[in-house]
Amino acid sequence: MQRKILVTGLSGVVGSAIRPALEKRYQVSSLARRGAPGLLRERNFQADIAELEAIRPAFSGVDTVVHLAATGGVRSPMGTRTGFSELQQTNIVGTYNVFEAAANAGVRRIVFASSGATVRGYENSSPYRELARGEYQKLDGPVPRLAKDVEPRPMSLYGVTKLFGEALGRCYAETTPLSVICLRIGSVSPENRPRDVRGRAVFVSHQDLAQLVVKSIEAPARVRFDIFYGVSDNTRGYRDLSHAREVLGYSPQDDADALLGENHVDVP
């Protein structure tokens, strides 16, 4: 029997990137305000995640929720500069509602789309600053990788709301049967290639992200709560992947430098 997966934000950049891989393996349902194209009506739930009672029916019989819906991301008009009132409704109230509805419905696991924005502040300090700016000639040697348990350093309220989601996930994992896996997703583009010089450090390809989400869905029950970085195996990366490799068996196949090519010139 196919595992039943509910995805919030299926039509977003991340959802669109991983949807083909999910639909090959699972019975996928969607929860979104405007619905998702190409799904059967009975698996296409239309509701605002800020309204708890309205979203409850979507969780019935679901094994795993992949919670991608958020504001402040790639397609938001203001990006990570989105104001607090909008972030509050979707990223705080909405995320709480998704966790609460999932726990009440007996969902086994939530895979929560956190963000690399939770640690972007490290790019204000050397050597991460030089790496993100493409000033490779200023680096003295290999850049230490950031482990998942470093102190968070958000630079935006968007990053703060993602830390709220991680802490909320920990709370539900401690107080309910719900298992929660948080993925600090890097830079995803519709074009499936880095957009700028910073992308060489934080890019994640569609196939690598899809693999990571699938491995999170299928991780053993003993993984009650954890946080993993969602980036490709970038030569110039700084987010540690060893934890995802060890716990989930994540094996990223792509590298931003290889995709861009040695002769690629970044556009400022």
pLDDT single digits (tens) 139-190: 998 999 999 999 999 999 999 999 999 999 999 999 999 999 999 999 999 9
Structural domains counted in the chain: 1
pLDDT single digits (tens) 66-110: 999 999 876 666 677 778 989 999 999 999 999 999 999 999 999
Angle, CA of 29, 35 and 38, to the nearest 5°: 65
Q: Report if residue 34 sits inside a domain.
A: yes
Q: Report if residue 265 sits inside a domain.
A: no
Q: Report if residue 266 sits inside a domain.
A: no
Tokens 């539900």 locate to 172
Per-residue pLDDT, 194: 94
Flag whether pLDDT at 32 surpasses 70. Answer: yes
Q: Report if residue 30 sits inside a domain.
A: yes
Q: Report if residue 264 sits inside a domain.
A: no
Flag whether pLDDT at 214 surpasses 70. Answer: yes
Flag whether pLDDT at 263 surpasses 60. Answer: no
Q: Report if residue 106 sits inside a domain.
A: yes
CATH number at residue 152: 3.40.50.720
Rounded to the nearest integer, the mean pLDDT of the chain is: 94
- Residue 267's pLDDT band, with cuts at 50, 70 and 90, is very low
Domain around 178: 4-259
Residue pair 46/35 in contact (Cβ under 8 Å)? The answer is yes
Q: Report if residue 47 sits inside a domain.
A: yes
